[in-house]
Amino acid sequence: MLAGGWLGCNALLGNEVGDLAPTKGQPTSAEGSVEEASLEDGEARDAVAADRDANLNRDADSSGDDAAIRHPCNETRSDPFNCGACGHDCLGGLCSAGKCDPLVIADEPGEPREIAVDDAYVYWTNRGASSVRRAPLRGGLATTIYAGSPEAPLGDGLVRNGNDIYFSIKVPAGGVFKCPISGCGNAGPEPVIATVDSPEFIAIVGNVLLVSEHIFNGRIGRCTLPCAGGLAFAEARESFPGFIAAEGDATYWSTILQSPGNLRAIFGTGPARTLVAQDSVAQIAIQGAEVFFALRGSGIRATARDGGVVRRLFESTTPTERFAIDGSDVYFSNPAVTGGRILRCPLAGCAIPTAVASFQANPFAVVTDASSLLWANRGDGQTGRIMRLAK
């Protein structure tokens, strides 16, 4: 409770900060200008914030030329529409010293965990309440899509696909379900795959649904949506399979126990193979010719799609579990209740990751869209937050 209150005060004071620089090559105003100096005080920042809030909805539907007319670039240190560079919009957040601050999209009682995004909304699961919720990307009223029971906890994985949001209910006789993105209503969620044993993680690649059973002899299943014929399971029995990904006829997954391996794959109808044997692999993702994976306590690593030499992106002792890949960079969470961070490293590797957001309360899942990063702060397990930061 004290930690949550401290963090709330810091957010009001502007201490829940982000360090993500604007796109290189954009013009900036002259440093040390009269306009910059006049906007250092609190009254000017309040005026800028009021102007920002009054124009959020219009900006969402306007062209770049219209925005430039409404928000001329006079200074770039505190203008949320021209932050650090002319035309660099903080997307609802404030601008401090030429860098966008993270925007609190929603304060969430409980423990927000998984996160997904489309062009209008951010979606998340609440583990404490076993619910799926959403809120507009620029902040606003959060609404409930699915309200479950704490006795039927949600698994890991949340996917926005078509006009539906997909999630798993992680119980011995659980399954994969979906609701319209506007909410299930009184009808409740629609079963996609029923009676899966403790489904942990789900993903959708194209029109293929992937599911892992998070038990000692768990299976890896896949089906073509709407999955009327049920899941086709790989023959391999795995030690607590978790995250899952696919590309073409190849399916990849992580396991908790070291034997038979922590990064495994099946190619076509062949047998399961161990690509990487490590202690504890978490999230995995396919990018280009490589499979990237988070190794708990050792940061992000990568290997070729068919295995081989493991490449370390950086040396780390952080408890990394989640990441998001965007273009040439990987963003990942460095959780801590009072001093968590969102870090960035080029896919080619880095000596020291760059902190793009600091003073975050136990950040977890991270996603990215065309213009921003989004993540779920789990907080102290009693109160969390959904955050957004302009790139």
Comparison of pLDDT for 362 and 16, the residue scoring more: 362
Q: What is the pLDDT of residue 65?
A: 59
In 3D, which of 308, 213, 227, 222 has the Cα closest to residue 255? 213
Asked if 300 contacts 292 with a C-beta cutoff of 8 angstroms, the reply is: yes
CATH of 103-390, one of 2.130.10.10, 2.60.120.10, 3.40.50.970, 3.40.605.10: 2.130.10.10
Confidence of residue 344 (pLDDT cuts 50, 70, 90): very high
Distance between CA 166 and CA 132 in Å, rounded?
10
On the question of pLDDT at 36 being above 50, the answer is: no
pLDDT at 6 over 70: no
**Would the pLDDT of 230 be above 60?**
yes
Question: What integer pLDDT is reported at residue 20 of this predicted model?
Answer: 63
pLDDT, residue 64, reads 53
Dihedral (CA of 180, 185, 191, 195) sign: positive
Which band of pLDDT confidence, cut at 50, 70 and 90, is reported for residue 22? Answer: low
3-state secondary structure of 15: coil
Mean of pLDDT over the chain: 83
CA distance 368 to 230: 31
- Reported as type and span, the H/E element at residue 66 is helix 64-70
Q: CA–CA separation, 96 vs 28, rounded Å?
A: 15
CA 191 – CA 241 distance, rounded (Å): 22
Q: In the structure, what pLDDT confidence band is assigned to residue 17 with cuts at 50, 70 and 90?
A: low
Cα 59 from chain centroid? 24
Residue with tokens 């136990």: 362
Residue 35: what pLDDT? 30
- Tokens found for residue 116: 């997904």
Start-end of CATH 2.130.10.10 domains in the chain: 103-390
Write the CB contacts of 296 (distance below 8 Å, at least 6 apart in sequence): 279, 280, 281, 282, 319, 320, 321
State the pLDDT at residue 95: 97
> Which band of pLDDT confidence, cut at 50, 70 and 90, is reported for residue 239?
confident
Is residue 335 over pLDDT 60? yes
What's the CA dihedral at 111, 179, 190, 110 to 10 degrees?
10
| 13 has a pLDDT exceeding 70 | no
Predicted local confidence at residue 172, as pLDDT: 76
Tokens found for residue 65: 């030329």
Q: Where is average pLDDT lowest: 13-17, 98-102, 230-234?
A: 13-17
Instruction: Give the CA diameter of the chain.
Output: 70
User: Half-sphere exposure (CA, 13 Å, Cβ side) for 50?
Assistant: 6
Q: Give the rounded percent of residues in the chain with a pLDDT score beyond 90.
A: 59
Residue 9 confidence (pLDDT) above 90: no
pLDDT at 61 over 50: no
Which whole number is the average pLDDT over 9-32?
Answer: 42
Terminal Cα distance for the chain, rounded: 31
120-150: pLDDT as tens digits: 999 999 988 999 999 999 899 999 999 998 8
> pTM (2 decimals)?
0.82
70 — pLDDT class (breaks 50, 70, 90):
confident
Per-residue pLDDT tens digits for 148-181? 988 899 998 899 999 999 999 988 778 999 999 9
Please compute the mean of the pLDDT values over residues 208-228 and round it to a whole number: 93
Give the model's confidence band at 256: pLDDT under 50 very low, under 70 low, under 90 confident, else very high: confident
- pLDDT value for 235: 72
Residue 4 DSSP SS3: helix
The whole-number average pLDDT for the span 187-209 is 92
Q: Which residue has the higher pLDDT, 304 or 17?
A: 304
- Per the rule left: phi > 0, alpha: psi between -120 and 50, beta: everything else, 224 is beta
Dump pLDDT digits (tens) for 267-290.
Answer: 988 888 999 987 788 899 999 999
**Residue 336: its pLDDT value, please?**
83
Q: For residue 81, what pLDDT band results from cuts at 50, 70 and 90?
A: very high
Structure tokens at 325: 């890949």
